[in-house]
Structure 1
Amino acid sequence: MAKIPALCSLVPNMMVHSVETSVQFYQKTLGFEQVMTVPESAPYDWAMLKQGEVTLMLQKVDSFSEEVPKFKDQEPSASLTLYMITDSVDTLYAHLQKTKVKILKEPHKTFYRMKEIAIEDPDGYTLVFAEACEDEN
């Protein structure tokens, strides 16, 4: 059997109503930087953003459903969470409280020894931010 090549990274491509609105949200709320857009000036069909080691792609509904026809009659959002590791859930939480972001779950410790917070982006995607903690108490 042939050896399966190593996977190097996972970059979600998220279907959104407005690339501009989503880019603004990720930049202002979470400090992402715009890496690339198509076209180069607004209105955009697609954008790539980066913050630390996390990369996201955002693609407008019509462009996305043209590329992946099975999404033609679907709304943005997903039955998954985008789980991102941070160095301080508490600092991020303090920052998020000053914004209009919808907080889905306040900071909490889990049985698997992570401290987490969950928020929702403008298209309904659930973003979870986590850091390792000593115990669940």
Structure 2
Amino acid sequence: MMSTKFTVRKATPVMFVDAVEPAVAFWQGLGFEKTVEVPHGDAIGFAILIQGGVELMFQSRGSIGLDVPALAAEPSRVALYVEVSDLDEATGRVQGAPIVFERRRTFYGAEELGVRDPAGNVVTLAQVPAEQGNG
């Protein structure tokens, strides 16, 4: 029998990247603050970025190769759905990022734009109507 006291407290994506620095710069452009930085040689090996209740973690392939070697060679891509308060402002903050899909209105009423972060991950920026949004 499973305990009724069990809860998942948080789920945080840890994204493996060739270099942490470009990922940090990309997400700082969207208002995230770097709260943890762990060096790996003369570069950043691991970083945590936070904005409000949202947390993202990035680890360099070199660092993960020392930490968990079996994971270092695996391809690592994620798709993040990021709800924002103002899609126009968010679009300006990621100017120059490769476009995955142009701005569109979805069947569920969100305005979305898809871009790639410096590590190649798909980031969907979405402005959801207030009555549907989470924040």
- TM-score over 0.5 for the alignment? yes
* Shift in CA distance, 94/20, structure 1 to aligned 2, threshold 3 Å: closer
After TM superposition, give the deviation of residue 40 of structure 1 in Å.
9.4
Instruction: Report the Cα distance in structure 2 between the residues aligned to 1:40 and 1:34, rounded to whole angstroms.
Output: 16
Counterpart residue number, 1:72 = 72
Q: Give deviations 1:52-100, integer Å, cap 9, x for gaps.
A: 222111101022244344423234x41x41111111112222443xx32
Instruction: Report the Cα distance in structure 1 between the residues aligned to 2:109 and 2:16, rounded to whole angstroms.
Output: 32
Q: Give TM-score, length-normalised by structure 2.
A: 0.80
Instruction: Report the Cα distance in structure 1 between the residues aligned to 2:83 and 2:68, rounded to whole angstroms.
Output: 29
Instruction: Report the Cα distance in structure 2 between the residues aligned to 1:23 and 1:67, rounded to whole angstroms.
Output: 20
How many residue pairs are counted as aligned between the two chains?
129
Q: Give deviations 1:89-135, integer Å, cap 9, x for gaps.
A: 12222443xx321122222111122221111011100111112238x
Counterpart residue number, 2:128 = 132
Question: Unaligned stretches of 5+ in structure 1?
Answer: none
The one-letter code matched in structure 2 to 1:24 is A
Question: Unaligned stretches of 5+ in structure 2?
Answer: 131-135
Q: Give TM-score, length-normalised by structure 1.
A: 0.79
Percent identity (aligned): 31
User: How does 1:13-92 map onto structure 2 within 5 Å?
Assistant: 13-27=14-28, 29-39=29-39, 43-75=43-75, 77-78=76-77, 80-92=78-90
